[in-house]
Chains A and B, each alone.
Chain A
Amino acid sequence: MSAERSRLSVRDLLSETAVALTARPARTVLTALGTILGVGALVTTLGLAKTAGNQIVSRFNELEATEVVVSPQSTGFGDSSRSLNVIPWDAEARIERLNGVVSAGTVSDVDVGDKLARSVPVVDPQGQTEFQIPVVAASPGLFEAVRASLFTGRFFDQGHEDRADPVAVLGPAAAQRLNVTRVDNLPVIFVGDEALAVVGILGDTARRPDLLGAIIVPNQVARDRFNLAGVESVEVDVAIGAAELIGAQAPTALAPNAPEQLRVAVPPSPRRVRSDVQDDVNALFLALGGVSLLVGAIGIANVTLVSVLERTGEIGLRRALGATRRHIALQFLTESVALGALAGVIGTSLGVLAVVVVSATREWSPVLDSWLPFAAPVLGAAIGLVAGTYPAWKASSTEPIAALRGVA
């Protein structure tokens, strides 16, 4: 008769583990609690950092990530005329040639001195009819570049610009002060003594909110009638992702001779924003998560060790029934790994839940790296493995008869 080797099938090992873990469910959960909290904290931290980072990025994406503003380099005081002349009058045409530009337009504050704006040519002694309203000179493309909408009427166009037609578009606040509510009756306003035909009233703008309270006139009108010296800045609406490129190209396109005299404001790159946010949030909470994981590992190790001592009778019995030392070690190791993995799954679930709840209260869209829910239980299992090694070794080196003689 040959000697058959003792064996333990994987299926039996797993079912023994399942029975052992479910025999005392409350104890199992308490043992796993530290690891649950640790994994949960890690998942929550990583998830919230990702969510918050993504949130800020998406806000940039909406407007600011597509906005490039070019203006002359500040040259200190007393030299404004020189710097104002850096940007040519045909800036709009030059910029719109660049690939990646959606629309562009110049915008310049016009110095009208103490001239007041009024909508009627006569002075009404009963009420205030004259106001100090800022005048802004713009190229026709500006309206699109600031994503302006119309309340009524129309924007002025290249034809008005070319002909130097005395027209104006009013911001809604300016229109209200001047008591202009419609344009179909061809209202005329006066800035000082210059008459301007109102062709449209703005509804809103996404950028340059100062336009809402201003009288907007074509560049040529501002030059002819208000002595505008030069273009102050160029607003560029770019395609998503093109901001950096346009920011690099615009100065050369505008001022080939002196690109260094132009200052370009581009949105911060999304990557940088994300990493900044994550660095801030992560450092502290990852440390916290790490500490709870350590505590969790110690918890598993501790309880598993106690249960080894408690189950010496069972260990002896299993040895007597044909288990090898390896089988015993394997059983305890499997139990602690399963416990760790279970804790990982529960912790991950709680973490994801926390991310979703926090996101819901902040009205964010929760974002999670797709590998995270899978990696976290593996991390839990690894913790179980580390924590279970010593108890498993201890269990496997239990002397069977001594164990069996002890009180069960």
Chain B
Amino acid sequence: MRLRRKRAEPMAVDDDVTGDLWPGMPAEPSGGDPVPVVLLHQAGRTFPGPPPVEALKPTDLVIERGEYLAIVGPSGSGKSTLLHLLGLLDSPTTGSYHLDGIDTVTLTEPERAGVRAARIGFVFQAFHLLSYRSIVENVMLADLYRPGARERRRDRAVEALVSVGLGHRLEATPATLSGGERQRVAVARALVSDPSLLLADEPTGNLDTATGEQILALFDELHGRGLTLAVITHDDSVASRAERVVGLRDGQVTEDRRVGSGVR
């Protein structure tokens, strides 16, 4: 097992580790060592057999606040498993996973789902918008499973849509939107809960190059505003936009390198 990273290693990002730049971001105790967003320690996932499959071998991974990370690897490399684990849709069978300092392994399912709702935003390749609802209703869906002010739900959705540049099409249905617009709606939906971590699974996979570029530019902008992003992709041009690339192969981290400084 290669342990590429040490927790204390300073980030290339210099100005947003305090994590307060994205409005509404959960306030962490500032000063001292900030709690990393993701802290995987010897986390592995084995699916019971027969024969048992070790989809992810015990792995250490730290994602600091404000990092822009790309996870790359061929199919079967354990990307999905890692996405499951990072997104709290699954629990590691070994090791631990702290998200925002919360030990997620000991949580019950409702608690894990609650953390997922509050702290993780998902963006998918296939957008996953509900076709029979307006885009503002689609974005409002993100608040459905979170306790909180129902009255503000619509306002928050509108805010998020405005922030991705779709404030003028609130009542449109997804069918009338272009692919790029749909993915921006999905990003808005992911942002509405002010997540600690934005998980994007092949976000440009269904888009042409130009539209994909718009989404990547949006990601750059979000990164610039201090959001922590983890993008799972097999597309090198997507991966190259990140600050850091983690390569997976056969359930192991095979590389963890810093690339440039992102488009800042």
List chain A positions with a Cβ less than 8 A from chain B: 1, 3-9, 11-12, 16, 19, 23-24, 313-314, 316-327, 400-401, 404-408
Contacts of A313 in B (CB 8 A): 126, 128
Please name the residue on chain B nearest to A19 by beta carbon: B133
Give B177 Cβ to nearest chain A Cβ, in Å: 14
Q: How far is the CA of A211 from the CA of B116 in the complex (A)?
A: 93
Please name the residue on chain A nearest to B101 by beta carbon: A1
A3 touches B83 (CB 8 A): no
B201 within 8 A of A: yes
Contacts of B126 in A (CB 8 A): 313, 404-408
Contacts of A323 in B (CB 8 A): 113, 144-145
B171 within 8 A of A: no
List chain B positions with a Cβ less than 8 A from chain A: 26, 80, 83-84, 87, 89, 100-102, 104, 107-118, 120, 122, 124-130, 132-133, 137, 141-142, 144-147, 150, 189, 201
Q: How far is the CA of A23 from the CA of B175 in the complex (A)?
A: 14
- A321/B141 contact (C-beta < 8 A), A3-B111, A7-B147, A400-B89 known: yes
A401 touches B80 (CB 8 A): yes
- A8/B133 contact (C-beta < 8 A), A319-B89, A322-B118, A408-B126 known: no
Give A322 Cβ to nearest chain B Cβ, in Å: 2
Give B30 Cβ to nearest chain A Cβ, in Å: 14
Give B67 Cβ to nearest chain A Cβ, in Å: 19
Contacts of B189 in A (CB 8 A): 321
A321 touches B145 (CB 8 A): yes
Q: Could you write out 12 A-B pairs with CB less than 8 Å apart? A: A3-B112, A6-B116, A316-B128, A318-B141, A319-B89, A321-B142, A321-B145, A322-B146, A323-B144, A401-B201, A404-B201, A407-B126
Q: Which of A4, A321, A400 contacts B147 (CB 8 A)?
A: A4
Contacts of A23 in B (CB 8 A): 132-133
Contacts of A3 in B (CB 8 A): 102, 104, 107, 111-112, 114-115
Contacts of B110 in A (CB 8 A): 5-7, 324, 326
B113 touches A322 (CB 8 A): yes
Q: Which of B89, B144, B150 contacts A16 (CB 8 A)?
A: B144
Give B183 Cβ to nearest chain A Cβ, in Å: 12
Q: How far is the CA of A4 from the CA of B113 in the complex (A)?
A: 9
Please name the residue on chain A nearest to B113 by beta carbon: A6
Among the interface residues A317, A318, A320, which one has the most CB atoms of the partner chain B within 10 A? A320
Give A329 Cβ to nearest chain B Cβ, in Å: 12
Q: How far is the CA of A316 from the CA of B145 in the complex (A)?
A: 14
Q: Which of B101, B122, B133 contacts A321 (CB 8 A)?
A: B122
Contacts of A407 in B (CB 8 A): 126
Please name the residue on chain A nearest to B122 by beta carbon: A320
Q: How far is the CA of A320 from the CA of B198 in the complex (A)?
A: 12
Q: A4-B111, A6-B114, A404-B122 are in contact. List 6 more A-B contacts (CB 8 A).
A: A4-B115, A5-B113, A11-B150, A321-B142, A324-B110, A407-B126
Q: How far is the CA of A408 from the CA of B147 in the complex (A)?
A: 27
Q: How far is the CA of A3 from the CA of B196 in the complex (A)?
A: 13
Contacts of A9 in B (CB 8 A): 150
Q: How far is the CA of A182 from the CA of B177 in the complex (A)?
A: 98
B144 touches A321 (CB 8 A): yes
B124 touches A404 (CB 8 A): yes
Contacts of A400 in B (CB 8 A): 84, 89
Please name the residue on chain A nearest to B115 by beta carbon: A3
Contacts of B109 in A (CB 8 A): 324-326
Q: How far is the CA of A3 from the CA of B83 in the complex (A)?
A: 20
Contacts of A19 in B (CB 8 A): 132-133, 137
Q: Which of A16, A317, A324 contacts B128 (CB 8 A)?
A: A317
